[in-house]
């Protein structure tokens, strides 16, 4: 499944970050507290830029993305941000996956791990960071129409802001400041329907095939085909019990043969290798929403413990 799938490209990202207010900055190193994160749920995401150190941040036009903030677990909370950009015939795909400890370590701090993976063609840059991350709540944000709104933002500068082509001639996001703004999307009930990943539909060697959801009075089943692995994974749970996210317990891994492939993108191979090590009982979270620009319904399934794996599919007629 390509990350620049048309459903993701159609998400309307309308946020940018203004100057940071130090009173609103939540630095978990200084405060010796768990990293504050937005409420669990599905969000639109926007990479931000600014003209100079004193200027307000601005949304970078032409970038679309989404974020999943997963519910807190006993020991940690996970999240992921995915951003795409089409540049001619080449797609730029990036993901940031993170986890924030909910319990202090022996030094009395709450560690945060953030990993960034970016690709363009066959180029991948990955970097991890065990320092604590800074987030900003209710910051003044200027959207693409010049309107000021409030947004929750992340500072991702510690994992790098300049991602280069293999020949070092072109940056992927040349004006990105390292900040990301998120805005919550309204979700809808997951109905009994079939869903398809348009980029991979009909290919026997595709990473993801058809997805089928069944909602029986709130009892939710999501069946996900993985043609290249020769299997179907099944997630079961109760619908919409986590602020628009439905928690699923996934089974069927024993029948799968997940292997890296030259037909997959580097990010997809990262996901596949993680699935190869997964076992029955793995968790996933699903959400359905209406794409603002197209009014089409899409399904998102995120796997918090599988290297940022997220599936996105369109509702079939």
pLDDT at 249 over 70: yes
Mean pLDDT calculated for residue range 21-44: 65
Q: Quote the pLDDT of residue 312.
A: 93
Average pLDDT over residues 83-108: 78
Q: Give yes or no: residues 255 and 267 share one domain.
A: yes
Closest CA to 48 of 63, 34, 30: 63
Q: What integer is the mean pLDDT of 97-124?
A: 82
194 in the same domain as 181: no
pLDDT at 248: 98
pLDDT of residue 27 exceeding 70: no
pLDDT at 292: 74
Phi/psi of residue 142, each to 5°?
-105, 120
Q: Are residues 163 and 228 in the same domain?
A: no
Residues 151 and 33 in one domain: yes
Does 21 score more than 70 pLDDT?
no
The whole-angstrom separation of Cα 44 and Cα 174 is 21
In a domain, 168, yes or no: yes
Whether pLDDT at 125 is above 90: no
* Tokens describing residue 71: 């519910």
Looking at 193-207, 253-267, 274-288, which range is the least confident one?
193-207
Q: Is 98 within the bounds of a domain?
A: yes
Decide which of 135, 150, 185 is a domain's last residue.
185
Please tell me the total count of domains within the chain. 2
Domain of residue 304: give its range.
Answer: 188-315
Instruction: Give pLDDT tens digits for 180-239.
Output: 999 999 999 999 999 998 766 656 788 999 999 999 999 999 999 999 999 999 999 999
pLDDT above 50: residue 16? no
pLDDT score recorded for residue 44 = 93
Q: Point out the domain boundary residue: 130, 163, 185.
A: 185
| 280 located within any domain | yes
- State whether 203 and 58 are in the same domain: no
Residue 193 within any structural domain of the chain: yes
pLDDT of residue 126: 65
Select from 185, 214, 235 the last residue of a domain: 185
What's the whole-number average pLDDT of the chain?
81
- Whole-number Å distance between alpha carbons of 40 and 155: 19
Quote the CA–CA distance of 123 and 21 in Å, as a whole number. Answer: 36
User: pLDDT at position 29, please?
Assistant: 41
pLDDT of residue 26: 38
Statement to judge: residues 234 and 201 lie in one domain? yes
**Given a cut of 70, is residue 94 above it in pLDDT?**
yes
Q: Is residue 91 part of a domain?
A: yes
Q: Is residue 278 part of a domain?
A: yes
Q: In this structure, are 61 and 142 located in the same domain?
A: yes
d(CA 51, CA 200) in angstroms, rounded, equals: 40
Q: What is the pLDDT at residue 122? A: 55
Rounded percentage of the chain residues whose pLDDT exceeds 90: 45
Tell me if 1 is assigned to some domain: no
140 and 11 within one domain? yes
**pLDDT class of 317 with cuts at 50, 70, 90:** confident
- Quote the pLDDT of residue 157: 82
159 and 277: one domain?
A: no
**Cβ atoms within 10 Å of 155's Cβ, excluding its own:** 17
Phi, psi (rounded to 5 degrees) for 271: -65, -45
pTM for the model:
0.85
Confidence at residue 313, expressed as pLDDT on a 0 to 100 scale: 94
Does residue 254 share a domain with residue 243?
yes
- Model pLDDT for residues 201-211, shown as the tens digit of each residue: 656 788 999 99
């Amino acid at each position: 499944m390509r990350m620049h799938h048309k459903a993701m490209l159609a998400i309307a990202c309308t946020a940018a970050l203004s100057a940071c207010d130090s009173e609103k900055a939540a630095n978990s190193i200084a405060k010796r507290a768990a990293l504050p994160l937005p409420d669990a749920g599905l969000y639109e995401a926007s990479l931000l830029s600014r003209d100079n150190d004193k200027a307000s941040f601005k949304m970078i036009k032409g970038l679309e993305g989404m974020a999943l903030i997963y519910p807190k677990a006993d020991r940690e909370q996970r999240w992921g941000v995915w951003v795409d950009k089409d540049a001619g015939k080449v797609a730029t795909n990036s993901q940031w996956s993170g986890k924030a400890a909910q319990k202090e370590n022996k030094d009395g701090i709450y560690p945060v791990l953030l990993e960034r993976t970016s690709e363009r063609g066959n180029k991948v840059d990955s970097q991890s960071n065990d320092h604590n991350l800074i987030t900003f709540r209710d910051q003044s944000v200027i959207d693409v129409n010049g309107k000021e709104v409030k947004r929750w933002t992340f500072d991702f500068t510690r994992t790098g802001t300049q991602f280069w082509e293999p020949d070092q001639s072109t940056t992927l996001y040349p004006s990105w400041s390292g900040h990301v703004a998120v805005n919550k999307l309204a979700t809808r009930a997951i109905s009994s329907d079939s869903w398809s990943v348009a980029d991979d539909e009909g290919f026997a060697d595709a990473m993801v095939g058809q997805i089928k959801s069944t909602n029986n009075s709130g009892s939710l089943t999501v069946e996900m085909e993985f043609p290249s692995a020769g299997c179907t994974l099944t997630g079961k749970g109760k619908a919409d019990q986590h602020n628009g996210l439905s928690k699923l317990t996934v089974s069927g891994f024993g029948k799968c043969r997940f292997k890296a492939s030259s037909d997959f993108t580097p990010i997809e191979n990262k996901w596949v290798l993680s699935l190869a090590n997964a076992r029955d009982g793995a968790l996933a979270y699903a959400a359905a929403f209406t794409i603002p620009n197209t009014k089409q319904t899409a399904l998102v399934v995120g796997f918090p413990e599988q290297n940022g794996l997220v599936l996105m599919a369109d509702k079939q007629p």
